[in-house]
Chain A
Amino acid sequence: MSASANVEVNINDCEVADPKKLAAFEAHVAAGGLIESNDWMPDAYRTLMLRMAEHHANSEIVGSLPEGEWITRAPSLLRKLALTAKVQDEVGHGQMLYEVAQDLGKSRNAMLRDLITGVTKYHNCFNYPCPTWADICMIAWLIDGAAILNQGTLAHGSFGPYIRTMRRINMEEAFHFKHGEDMVLTLMRGTEHQKQMAQEAFDRWWGPSIAFFGPNDRPDERERPAMKWRMKTATNDELRQKFVNRFAPAAMATGLVINVCEKDEKGIVTSATPDPLLKLDEETGNWSFTQPDWDEFFRVIRGNGPCNDERLALRRFSYEQGEWVRKAILHGSTTPNNN
């Protein structure tokens, strides 16, 4: 799950496309046409698509770590099963997206190594800590809810292999979201302690959720390659508004309060006050709301989020500890059980 279409890529170094071919390509895409692996595409499109798929894949497998932290503490048999399945799905999404990126020209090994060494990045929201069980509930409801909105639009993109992957991912994301909703509703109908835990987790995750879609739209958003070439089909602000319209009333209906929060560098909430801007415009149907803390967002994006080191350390451990296994099955002396 991610808003990887916002990945900044320097496409000025890309091979300049033949103008005739480029014009035909752009007309095809603008008319709603789709591109498959064997079709001609400008070098810049290939590069941008690869980086997008790679960033998305990175986000899935790093994103699996915060929730994975709580698998062993899930407090019922159903929650154990569902949380394990959710994290498993995320590893699966990463796998499928790495395949898409690999087919565009970068090996999985190279991508995993670049992730571990900090050369490539992953989605901002996976830099935050998950101090309680309620954080897991909120991530599944809010972040997966945001991902569905985002990925729903990505599924109308132009690149065949990527949109096919989006369709499959969205099917699983629906389960993640519904399960998240179930967990949040259970907490909000539970004990005072559970409700308080839920409110505190909500305070930690509302900001990252509305920031999920990326920074505010640039004035020329629709002319930039990502939208011009239909890799993303909705703007960040459009999606953000949709999200708030859906989730603000839902959150309030459960009894949660939507606060504007300040956080310290560890991701701990230091202050929370009800959002003074939160109001429904009856005519437009849009909720007004306080924007996320963009200063904090950009600080975290520059690679120094509270959990960045720890999560990459775990990914690195996994990669290095697994090398002997990969070598064993690749260079095995006999290949057992052929057929």
Chain B
Amino acid sequence: MLSEARSNAIAKSNSGELSSSEVEGFQVWEVFTQKKDGDIHLHTGSLSAPDLALAKMFAREHYGQDQICVSLWVGERDSFKSLGGDKETYEVFVQKDAGSRHEHAGSVDAINGKDAREKCKEQFIKDNAFCTIWACPLSKLSKIESSIDMIWRETTDQSYRLAKGYSKVVRQKWEALRATKAVDKYQSEDLEDTF
């Protein structure tokens, strides 16, 4: 049963060959989030957007809303994966093993992406095993801090979108249901005995 607006939309929908020949997509961005102060930034996912402004907007509303989040970093995928680049500071991220998320390991000063990876191994990984390293030049990484630019909504109660927002009330309803059934059963047995 559709809303009126949706019914109208379906009525207007075309049939036959798709009219457009659109093929181009948007570039891919990687998003890292930090749950609370002091936590490590973890890779949360990727998204497609044509520019930084929209990438930041999308990152905030898609990856910044599943749980409390105080910091969000966004950069083009190419920036994280490139071995080239210029002499500057790089944020480096390590995936420890297959299946794990990339974690922020720290910052290094390097002449390019390749060098940043070497420095990352020297300073942060050392003899430990690892799967892959990403290195993003600081100049290409956008950082959003919730103290300046709100990410997770701090005012309105977000428990409506979390499983734990329903645990207590669901438990209470089950108990009430069972109590009612117990009473019903008791009363029906009572009636059977009497009549």
A–B touching in complex (CB under 8 Å): yes
Q: Are A317 and B13 in contact (CB under 8 A)?
A: yes
Contacts of B18 in A (CB 8 A): 113, 116-117, 316, 320
Does A108 interact with chain B (Cβ within 8 Å)? Answer: yes
| Residues 29-63 of B contacting A (Cβ, < 8 Å) | 44-48, 50-54, 62
A62: shortest Cβ distance to chain B, in Å? Answer: 14
Contacts of A109 in B (CB 8 A): 22-25
B164: shortest Cβ distance to chain A, in Å? Answer: 8
Closest-by-CB residue of B relative to A335 is B51
Q: Are B99 and A160 in contact (CB under 8 A)?
A: yes
Within the complex, which residue of A70, A99, A160, A186 is in contact with B1, where a contact is CB–CB below 8 Å? A70
Q: Are B163 and A339 in contact (CB under 8 A)?
A: no
The docked-state distance in angstroms from the alpha carbon of A182 to that of B6 is 27
| Residues 145-192 of A contacting B (Cβ, < 8 Å) | 160, 163-165, 168, 171-172, 174-175, 177-179, 181-182, 185-186, 188-189
Q: Are B170 and A168 in contact (CB under 8 A)?
A: no
A252: shortest Cβ distance to chain B, in Å? Answer: 11
Q: Are A330 and B166 in contact (CB under 8 A)?
A: no
A188-B177 contact, Cβ under 8 Å, with A69-B1, A99-B28, A339-B142 = yes
The docked-state distance in angstroms from the alpha carbon of A68 to that of B178 is 33
Contacts of A85 in B (CB 8 A): 160-161
Does B195 interact with chain A (Cβ within 8 Å)? Answer: no
Contacts of A255 in B (CB 8 A): 177, 181
Tell me which of A2-10, A31-39, A205-213, A261-269 binds B.
A31-39
A185-B19 contact, Cβ under 8 Å, with A38-B132, A92-B62, A317-B10 = no
A43: shortest Cβ distance to chain B, in Å? Answer: 20
Q: Are A337 and B50 in contact (CB under 8 A)?
A: no
Closest-by-CB residue of B relative to A65 is B6
Q: Are A164 and B101 in contact (CB under 8 A)?
A: yes
Does A284 interact with chain B (Cβ within 8 Å)? Answer: no
Contacts of B129 in A (CB 8 A): none
Q: Are B52 and A338 in contact (CB under 8 A)?
A: yes
Contacts of A102 in B (CB 8 A): 25, 28
| Residues 91-132 of B contacting A (Cβ, < 8 Å) | 95, 97-99, 101, 131-132
Does A218 interact with chain B (Cβ within 8 Å)? Answer: no
A332: shortest Cβ distance to chain B, in Å? Answer: 7
Q: Are B166 and A181 in contact (CB under 8 A)?
A: yes
Tell me which of A71-79, A286-294, A296-304 binds B.
A71-79
Number of interface residues of A (CB under 8 A): 72
Closest-by-CB residue of B relative to A131 is B1
Q: Are B66 and A171 in contact (CB under 8 A)?
A: yes
Contacts of B98 in A (CB 8 A): 33-36, 39, 160
Does A216 interact with chain B (Cβ within 8 Å)? Answer: no
Number of interface residues of B (CB under 8 A): 55
Contacts of B147 in A (CB 8 A): none
Contacts of A113 in B (CB 8 A): 18
Interface of B is mostly: mixed
Does B167 interact with chain A (Cβ within 8 Å)? Answer: yes
Q: Are B1 and A253 in contact (CB under 8 A)?
A: no
A189-B180 contact, Cβ under 8 Å, with A36-B131, A317-B12 = yes
The docked-state distance in angstroms from the alpha carbon of A38 to that of B3 is 45
Within the complex, which residue of A35, A71, A314 is in contact with B13, where a contact is CB–CB below 8 Å? A314
Contacts of B46 in A (CB 8 A): 99
Q: Are B25 and A108 in contact (CB under 8 A)?
A: yes
B76: shortest Cβ distance to chain A, in Å? Answer: 12
Does A95 interact with chain B (Cβ within 8 Å)? Answer: yes
The docked-state distance in angstroms from the alpha carbon of A178 to that of B174 is 12
The docked-state distance in angstroms from the alpha carbon of A186 to that of B166 is 12
The docked-state distance in angstroms from the alpha carbon of A81 to that of B98 is 37
Contacts of A332 in B (CB 8 A): 50-51
Within the complex, which residue of A71, A317, A320, A336 is in contact with B53, where a contact is CB–CB below 8 Å? A336
Does B9 interact with chain A (Cβ within 8 Å)? Answer: yes
B122: shortest Cβ distance to chain A, in Å? Answer: 22
| Residues 17-73 of A contacting B (Cβ, < 8 Å) | 33-36, 38-39, 68-73
Q: Are A253 and B178 in contact (CB under 8 A)?
A: yes
Does B148 interact with chain A (Cβ within 8 Å)? Answer: no
Does B162 interact with chain A (Cβ within 8 Å)? Answer: yes
The docked-state distance in angstroms from the alpha carbon of A323 to that of B165 is 38
The docked-state distance in angstroms from the alpha carbon of A19 to that of B101 is 31
Does B14 interact with chain A (Cβ within 8 Å)? Answer: yes
Query: Which of B20, B160, B167: most chain A Cβ within 10 A?
Result: B160
Closest 3 CB pairs of A and B: A34-B98, A174-B163, A185-B173
Residue pairs across A and B with Cβ atoms less than 8 A apart, 24 shown, are A36-B98, A36-B99, A69-B1, A72-B3, A85-B161, A92-B62, A99-B48, A109-B25, A113-B18, A116-B18, A132-B1, A175-B163, A175-B165, A175-B166, A185-B170, A253-B178, A254-B177, A314-B9, A317-B9, A317-B10, A326-B22, A329-B51, A337-B52, A337-B53
